[in-house]
Amino acid sequence: MFGGENKRQKILALLTMCFALFMAMLDNTVVNVALPTLSRDLGAGVSDLQWIVDGYVLAFASLLLTGGILGDRYGRKRAFMAGLVIFTISSLMCGLSDTTQMLIIFRALQGIGGALLIPGTLSILTVTFPPSERAQALGIWAGVSGVALALGPTLGGYMIEHVGWESVFFLNVPIGVIGLAVAARVITESRAPHARRLDVPGLAIGTSALFSITYGLIGSNQRGWTHPITVGTLVAGAGLLVAFFLWERHSPDAMMPLAMFRIRAFSAGNTVAFAISFGMFGAFFFMSLYMQMIRGYSPVESGIRFLPMTGMIIVAAPLAGRFASRLGSRLPITIGMLLAATGQFLISRISADTPFALITPLLMIMGVGMGMTMAPMTAAVMNAVGAERAGLGSATTNTSREVGGVFGVALLGSLLTTRLKSSLGTALAAAHLPAAQYASIVEGAGHGRIDPSLFRGMAPQQIGLVTQSFGNAFLDGFQLALLVGSIVLAAAALVAFAFIPHGAPTHHDHEHIAVH
C-alpha cells in the first residue's frame, strides 16, 4: 500500500492523525443525536440548538486559517498537540455545563482546539506522503471520519439513553489523552520553509463577518427577516465580508491569499467543500429532529437509522481516494455531488408516515455521494497548492467546509422555522383560539416545540389539532430546508465538472500562481 524506507513512520503518522480526527468527528455526530435531549433537559429552542452546533463550527471556521499558519510557522506537531489539549479540556467542561449558555461557550472553545488540531492532521499527512500516495492516505483519513460518523449516532444514542447527554462529551477525554501520548512518540516536527506572519486584522474582520451573518440568520428564527436587528447584522456581515476581501487583497501577510483562487482546481475544490458540508450538516441536524420529534424514535433508535448513510461513507471514501489517485478527482466529485443532491432532494419529499424502508435507500444514496466526494475534493485542493503550502491549503479547504456547515445549520434552520411558523399560523386559523393564545403558540413554535402550559383551557379536539398542525408545519419547513440544500449540492457538482482538471494529478498546477 505504502512504500519507501520510512514506511513504518508513515503508517504510524497516518494512524495517529486518524485517531485525533476520529475524536473530533465523533463529537460532531454525537451532538446532533443529542439535540432533542438537550432541548428537553436544558430548555433549548431551535435557535439554542443551532448555536450549540454553530458555536463550535463558527469558532472552528474562523480560526482554521490561523491554525494552519501557526502550524507552518511554529511547528505542525506543536500546533496539533496544543489543539488536542484545548479540545480535550473543553470537552470535559461541556459535559459539566448545566445551562445552554455554558454549553455554547465551551463548544466554542472546542472549536478553537479543533482549529489547531484539524489543519495539523491534513498538513502532517501532506508532507509525510508523496503525491503518488497522498490521495490514498487521504482516502483512509476520510474513511476514518466515516467510521466516526457511523459510530457517533449509535454509540451516542446509547450513551444518551443510559448515561446522559453529558457522557457524549466526557467520552472525548480518554480519547484525547491517548491521542496526546501517541502523537508525542510518533509524529516528527515539521515547519514550512517560508512561514508567513499572522494576519491579525484579517482574522478580526473575517471572524466578525462570519459571526454577524450567523447571528442574523439564527436570530431571524424569533425576530423575523425584516426586524431591524436581523437586517442590521446581515448588512453589517456583508459589509465586513467585503472589507475582509479588500484587506486580504492588499495585505502583505494575508491569511487567505486571494491569488490562490486563480487556480481553478483550488477554487472549485473549495466550492465543493462548502457545498458538501452545507448539505451534510443540514441533513444531520434536521434528520435528527425529524426522527425524534416527528417519528418518536429514541436517541439510539435514531442513531441506528443513520447507519445506512454513514456506512456508505465508510465504503465509498477509500475507494474514491484510490480512484482519484489513478484517474483524477473530477469524475468522482461530480458523480458524488449529484448523488448527494439526488438523495437529499428525495428525502425532502418524505412525510411523517413514510416507511423507513423507503427512507433507508435515500440515506444510502446520500452516503455514497458524500463518501465519493470527500477524499477526491481534498486531494484536488492539496495537489493544486503543493506540499510547500500544505498548512495553508489544508486550512483553506477545511475553512470552506466549516463555513458551509455554519451556513447549512444557520440558513436552512432559519428557513425551517420561518416556514414552520407560517404554516402553523395558517393551520391554526381553524382552531378558533383566543388571539393571545394563538399568537403565543405560533411564536413558541419558532423554538421547535410548544409549551404544554399553552394547552390549558383547550378542548381535547383543539389540543389534537394544534399538535397535528405543529407536526405538519415542521415537515413543511423540513422539506423546504432540504430542498434548498439539494440545490446547493447540484450547483457545486456543475462547478466541479467545469473546473476541476480531468486525469491523474500532476505536480504543476500550483506553480502557475505565486503566493507570498
pLDDT tens digit sequence for 15-32: 878 878 877 777 766 787
Q: Which DSSP category does 293 fall into?
A: I
Rounded to the nearest 5°, which phi and psi values hold at 255? -70, -25
H helices, E strands: number in the chain: 16, 0
Q: How far apart are CA 178 and CA 184, in angstroms?
A: 10
Residue from 315, 414, 393, 309 nearest 126 by CA: 393
Q: Are 198 and 251 in contact (CB under 8 A)?
A: no
Question: Tell me, what DSSP letter sits at residue 2?
Answer: -
DSSP 4: S
Q: In CATH, which superfamily holds the domain spanning 7-198+255-421+473-511?
A: MFS general substrate transporter like domains (1.20.1250.20)
C-beta pairs of 307-310 under 8 Å, 24+ apart in sequence: 307/150, 307/153, 307/154, 308/360, 308/361, 308/363, 308/364, 308/367, 309/149, 309/283, 309/363, 309/364, 309/366, 309/367, 309/370, 310/29, 310/146, 310/149, 310/150, 310/152, 310/153, 310/367
Low-confidence ranges of the chain (pLDDT < 70): 1-5, 28-29, 142-143, 145-147, 149-150, 192-196, 387-392, 394-395, 431, 444-454, 503-516
Please choose, from the candidates 383, 386, 398, 62, the residue with its C-alpha nearest in 3D space to the C-alpha of residue 194: 386
Beta-carbon contacts of residue 24 (< 8 Å; ≥ 6 apart): 87, 114, 117, 118, 148
List the alpha helices (DSSP H) in 263-389.
Answer: 264-289, 299-327, 330-347, 356-385
Is there a contact between 448 and 290 (Cβ–Cβ < 8 Å)?
Answer: no
pLDDT of residue 359: 95
pLDDT for residue 272: 94
**How many residues are listed for the chain in this entry?**
516
Delimit the domains of the chain by residue range. Answer: 7-198+255-421+473-511, 199-254, 422-472
Residue 142's pLDDT is 67
CA atoms of 40 and 226, how far apart (whole Å): 30
Alpha-carbon separation of residue 316 from 312, 488, 493, 504 (angstroms): 6, 21, 17, 19
pLDDT, residue 195, reads 64
The pLDDT tens digits for 133-184 are: 877 787 787 667 666 766 777 888 888 888 888 988 898 888 888 888 878 8
Instruction: Give the contacts of 381 (CB within 8 A, at least 6 positions apart).
Output: 265, 266, 269, 270, 273, 393, 396, 397
The pLDDT, as a whole number, for residue 202 is 87
Cell of 307: 447507519
Taking the C-alpha atoms of residue 86 and residue 332, their distance in angstroms, rounded to an integer, is 36
Nearest of 81, 38, 309, 273 to residue 176 by alpha carbon = 81
